[in-house]
Amino acid sequence: MAGTTAALILATQQFDEHPAYADPDIDVFLFVESAARFAAMRSHAHKAVLLLSAMRHTAARLEAEGRTVHRVALDEGLGFAAGLERLLDEHGIERLAWMSATDRGVDDRMLRLCGARGMRTRRYDDALFLTSAADADAWFAEHPRTPMEDFYRWQRRRTGILMDGTKPAGGRWNFDADNRKPLPRGGLDIPPLEEPVRDEITSATIADVARLLPDLPGDPGEFWLPVTPQDARRHLERFVAERLERFGPYEDAMDADEPFLFHSVLTPMLNIGLLTVDEVLSAVTGAHDIPTASLEGFVRQVIGWREYMRGMYRVHPELEHANALNLSRPLEEWWYTGRGVPADLPIPVRTVLERVHRWGYAHHIERLMVLGNWFLLEGYSPRAVYRWFLALFVDAYEWVMVPNVMGMSQYADGGLVGTKPYVSGGAYLQKMGSWWPSAQAARDSEFTSAYWRFLEINEPVLEGNPRLSLPLAQMRRRRDERADGR
């Protein structure tokens, strides 16, 4: 096989139409299953199953088409670099192609590895996003501290999505004011997610993860996600048909008994290429009789927030080690294992933590205002919090977790991504989720006590933030009342 040109298919790039598949120069396709990577990250078992099963399905499809596939299997126990080098040696690979990775450093490591071997390389453009890396970099270079809303409007204008000529559809750019409702008393009929039927590949993958990676959080036997483009599209179609209509009004709602509500749960598939941004946008904008508030709220997440996070990650590498509030508390082991969780952990945190261990998932407002809020109030190290989110969530990768956790959630950047710390006491959580038996119980909860402590401890850093003037004034009155014995 001297002179062979290979394409490496990375785990997060399981596209139905990867550019390598149409490249006439490609002779073979390479896949590396790295047990060491999952173990080192302490990844949720469902994330391991998702990535491995998706890769195996892609490899099987290529083989069924008559393509040549070589892979490093999970049970070989090799790290990614060692596995790739074995494939290159065994199969006489002289030229290597791959799709540019979103996470920082991957491409550089690949180039160093190939350079040390004197190999020629080829890189395809990253296809995980609507906006090219070059276009995003150019926009952020011109708008270094511009909020997401401006980026989102630029996206709408340049793509024409939800636009009536030069004006936004429905006459407004932003329907957030319509999309902050708690579930009504008595609840709503919540359509269940459909779990795909497991085939032999997924069943074997679950068994392999259980056997070879027994210490990962979560139970691989409860795996629940689509692993092929076809099943991912069916999942998307069901979301559009059953939940998109009510997504907007209730996107910030919470319920102790409902982990998914009207959320799409598309990011586990979107972030590894089982779905493309174009497919998702085509499906939602082509739907009939969807309220503009729901449609705009969803589109904002896809072409606004998701792409903005990727842009901030690219242009602000310093975010990964930011710590504006100098927080240093280490995470206890029970955050990873789910064993020995303190009995006095507030109800919302305990409930969402349990569902994260079960599903490897919680929707965005639970991540921000339950888990992220509590981590910040309790003074946990933002870097430790970031590593936990990266490990425990099935849709979490460095490019999205760094700006979301270090910026938006933990305010470690001092206000670059989000303009204020996203903290609250029990009142907000009770309003949006009815976690406690009563509003008074929420006000008397440890969540509320932690909120006031946080504001008092961090007052010197936060007092110049205009968005915090009212809560800081309230905190000072409470402090003065305590000092006066009132």
* Mean pLDDT of all residues in 118-130: 97
The pLDDT confidence band at residue 1, using thresholds 50, 70 and 90, is very low
The pLDDT confidence band at residue 100, using thresholds 50, 70 and 90, is very high
DSSP state of 411: -
Q: Are the C-beta atoms of residues 119 and 101 closer than 8 Å to each other?
A: no
Q: How far is CA 76 from CA 80, 194, 210, 435, in A?
A: 11, 34, 15, 46
* Mean pLDDT of all residues in 438-459: 96
Q: Among 167-181, 238-252, 398-412, where is mean pLDDT lowest?
A: 167-181
* Mean pLDDT of all residues in 342-349: 96
* Mean pLDDT of all residues in 396-412: 97
Express each pLDDT in 356-369 by its tens digit.
999 999 999 999 99
Q: Are the C-beta atoms of residues 52 and 74 closer than 8 Å to each other?
A: yes
Distance, CA of 350 to CA of 356 (rounded, Å): 10
Strands (E), 51-179: 68-72, 93-99, 120-124, 163-164, 167-168
* Mean pLDDT of all residues in 161-180: 94
Helix count (H) and strand count (E) of the chain?
24, 7
User: How much is the pLDDT for 393?
Assistant: 98
User: How much is the pLDDT for 484?
Assistant: 77
DSSP-assigned states of every residue in 321-383: G--TT---BPPPTHHHH--S--TTS-HHHHHHHHHHHHHS---HHHIIIIIIHHHHHTTB-HH
Distance, CA of 214 to CA of 337 (rounded, Å): 12
CA angle 348, 399, 160 (to 5 degrees): 95
Q: Are the C-beta atoms of residues 32 and 90 closer than 8 Å to each other?
A: no
User: How much is the pLDDT for 486?
Assistant: 62
CA–chain centroid gap for 146, Å, is: 22
* Mean pLDDT of all residues in 78-84: 95
Q: Is 429 left (phi over 0), alpha (psi -120 to 50) or beta?
A: alpha
Express each pLDDT in 17-60 by its tens digit.
999 999 999 999 999 999 999 999 999 999 999 999 999 999 99
Q: Mean pLDDT, the chain, as a whole number?
A: 96
- The owner of tokens 């941004």 is 277
Q: Are the C-beta atoms of residues 292 and 176 closer than 8 Å to each other?
A: no
Radius of gyration of the chain (CA): 23
User: How much is the pLDDT for 145?
Assistant: 83
Express each pLDDT in 308-332 by its tens digit.
999 999 999 999 999 999 999 999 9
The SS3 of residue 25 is coil
Express each pLDDT in 276-299 by its tens digit.
999 999 999 999 999 999 999 999
The pLDDT confidence band at residue 144, using thresholds 50, 70 and 90, is confident
- Please report, rounded to a whole number, the percentage of residues in the chain having pLDDT higher than 70: 99
